[in-house]
Amino acid sequence: MDIEVKNQRDNLIGLSLQIKKYMWSKGVPYSTLYQNLYFKSSVSLSKKKQYSEAMKRALLEEVRKKTEQNKGVAEVSFFEEFKIRFYIISEWILEDWALRHNLEYLDYNINDPFSAEDCKINGVDIDVKTTIGLQRLKAIPFHSRTKDEKEIQVAVKSECFNTRNPHLTQHNILGIFDPSKYRDINIPLQYLQVFSRVKNACYFQPLEEYFDVLPDINDKIINYNQDVVDSWIKIDVLPTQRIHEVNYNLITIIFLMLDYPKKLTIFLKTHLPKIHHDFIPIVIELAAKKSIQLLPHYLADYLIKKIYNKEEIDQKSLVHIIYSVCFPNTSQRLYIENLFKLLEIIPEVCCKWHPEENIKDMELRYIEGDIPTFQVQCPQDPSKRTTIYTYSWKTYDVLFYKKNSQCKDDNCGGLTHEWFDYAEESKKYKTICKSTCNLSGREAFNKIQEEEIKEYQNKQKFQSLDDDVPF
């Protein structure tokens, strides 16, 4: 082998190893996982104090409510207690992360538990957001009040897999959202807009890159022989199965081209099918503005646009090539892959009321909001809408047309799922439909629950009466 060619090959191997290390420094690409965190021994004294104060405030609030209603013993609910514990842990995790990376950290909650921002890292004011995942409750996306849309937020996904052991929890920093990072980018987001009350995992870019704590990759020579590049890409022929695996060869070669828009454009045009050439300007723009880490957000928005326009997509090539431009974290991949699934089922969709009407006859609707939803609208009666993709308001599970059953109520086009109610008075499966459904929505659910409680209390009363009968 030519010495020069050998040098170039060795260089690429070294660079690929560097990138691999850089991506997987914590076992999860570009994010930070705190597994099996034990509240009592992990969290700082200051945060423990804030926790007990927050619990005291919550209890006082309950006492006030009960006094107003003039009944019952006041206690902080199970869910509320988890909520308080999770937000305190999430704030502590961010502090721990900042200190481990030698960044300046200031906790605003020490002096003011109601401070609009929770902390400051290296001069950046941050609001920490957490989701509450308890057993089957998934609790993603992240919600903000309208006035907080412009805040810089860090998202932490918090979970407790076994609520009987509430002190052992798992947390994962998903990343940071900073609206100013989008200011200079000349391609607008259409569906997942920058300022939004609801944010999914794709809005949050890696903290490590945001605060520039990763080692520099300085090997950025570009004038490789075309032969070297070609053979390098072929070392690892694109797999046909397990397509979501990281391809370091591709990542390395694309990384080398990020500062060379012409080379990158040619490369992407060669490797992406024509139907996805419309994504190339987005990659080039993000690379030019040194914001390639925002790519998962733009990719999700792009997919929603494709869905909306009923356009075809080639999942394999998008995953191979676009994931190699900027590899999404686990939660982002879950979100993006759910959109892929939606794209796959769209051709099979038909109107709930008129099965002969297929997707060609119907208009697609996307409803942003607390529960992002896709529906198809009946061409005869626009009030008849068949839901094809949504989240459960009860568990935040993703629901799909065909995978989940349609509602039995003839007036409702919602998707349902079964949920086992472990409560003492219920102990049975319940059908959950969209929150506004008359048959299985939120109100109907609450009513059934109330009746069950009443019935259960009556049964107990009779039982105790029976017990009193003297023989």
Pick between residue 289 and residue 354 the one whose CB is nearest to Zn ion.
Answer: 354
Decide: 295 and 322 in contact? Cβ < 8 Å. yes
Tell me whether residue 188 or residue 369 sits nearer to Zn ion (CB atom): 369
Q: Least distance in Å: CB of 297 to Zn ion?
A: 32
Nearer to Zn ion by C-beta: 354 or 442? 354
Q: Is the dihedral of CA 61, 65, 71, 76 positive or negative?
A: negative
Q: Which stretch binds Zn ion (CB under 5 A): 35-43, 118-126, 294-302, 414-422?
A: 414-422
432 lies in the binding site for Zn ion (CB under 5 A): no
Interface with Zn ion, residue 84, by CB under 5 A: no
376, 386 contact by CB (below 8 A): yes
Our CB check for Zn ion shows the closer of 254 and 362 to be 362
The tokens describing 175, both together, are 């990343």
Residue partners of 269: CB distance under 8 A and separation at least 6: 277, 280
Q: How far apart are CA 327 and CA 28, in angstroms?
A: 11
- State the minimum distance, in angstroms, from the CB of residue 348 to Zn ion: 16
Burial call 450-470: b when 16+ CB within 10 Å, e when fewer: eebeeeeeeeeeeeeeeeeee
Question: Residue 303 Cβ, how far from Zn ion at the closest point, in Å?
Answer: 26
Structure tokens at 297: 């957000």
Our CB check for Zn ion shows the closer of 260 and 396 to be 396
* Contact characters 134-173, Zn ion, x per CB under 5 A: ----------------------------------------
Contacting range for Zn ion; rule: CB under 5 A; set: 32-40, 226-234, 278-286, 400-408? 400-408
CA distances from 218 to 215, 223, 255, 326 (A): 9, 15, 11, 18
Residues β-bridged to residue 106: 120
**Which tokens in the block code for residue 231?**
């053979």
Kindly tell me the sign of the dihedral angle through the C-alpha atoms of 24, 29, 31, 35. Answer: negative
At closest approach, how far in Å is the CB of 372 from Zn ion? Answer: 18
- The answer to whether 415 contacts Zn ion (rule: CB under 5 A) is no
Q: Decide whether 331 or 377 has the Cβ nearer to Zn ion.
A: 377
CB of 378 vs Zn ion, minimal distance in Å:
3
Hey, which bits of 378-454 come out as E strands? 385-391, 398-400, 417-421, 428-432
Q: How many residues form the binding site for Zn ion (CB under 5 A)?
A: 11
As measured in angstroms, the least distance from the Cβ of 384 to Zn ion is 6
CB of 438 to Zn ion, least distance (A): 7
Q: Are 167 and 40 in contact (CB under 8 A)?
A: yes
Contact status, residue 413 vs residue 431, Cβ threshold 8 Å: no
Interatomic CA distance for residues 86 and 51, integer angstroms? 10
Shortest separation between residue 401's beta carbon and Zn ion, angstroms: 14
- Residue 399 Cβ vs Zn ion, minimum distance, rounded to whole Å: 11
Q: Which of residues 338-367 bind Zn ion (CB under 5 A)?
A: 351, 353-354, 357
Residue 359 near residue 347, CB atoms below 8 Å: yes
Q: How far apart are CA 385 and CA 437, in angstroms?
A: 12
Between 343 and 378, name the residue whose CB sits nearer to Zn ion: 378
One residue of 378, 388, 398, 432 binding Zn ion per CB under 5 A = 378
388 is a site residue for Zn ion (CB under 5 A) = no
* Dihedral angle over CA of 46, 52, 54, 57, nearest 10: -140
> Which CB, 58 or 407, lies closer to Zn ion?
407
Q: Kindly state the helix (H) or strand (E) to which residue 58 belongs, with its residue range.
A: helix 45-69
Q: Which stretch binds Zn ion (CB under 5 A): 94-102, 148-156, 261-269, 377-385?
A: 377-385
Site for Zn ion contains 444 (CB under 5 A)? no
Does 445 bind Zn ion (CB under 5 A)? Our answer is: no
Minimum CB distance to Zn ion, residue 395 (Å): 16
Give, as one character, the DSSP assignment of residue 358. Answer: B
Which residues of the shown chain bind Zn ion in the complex (CB under 5 A)?
351, 353-354, 357, 378, 407, 409, 412, 414, 433, 437
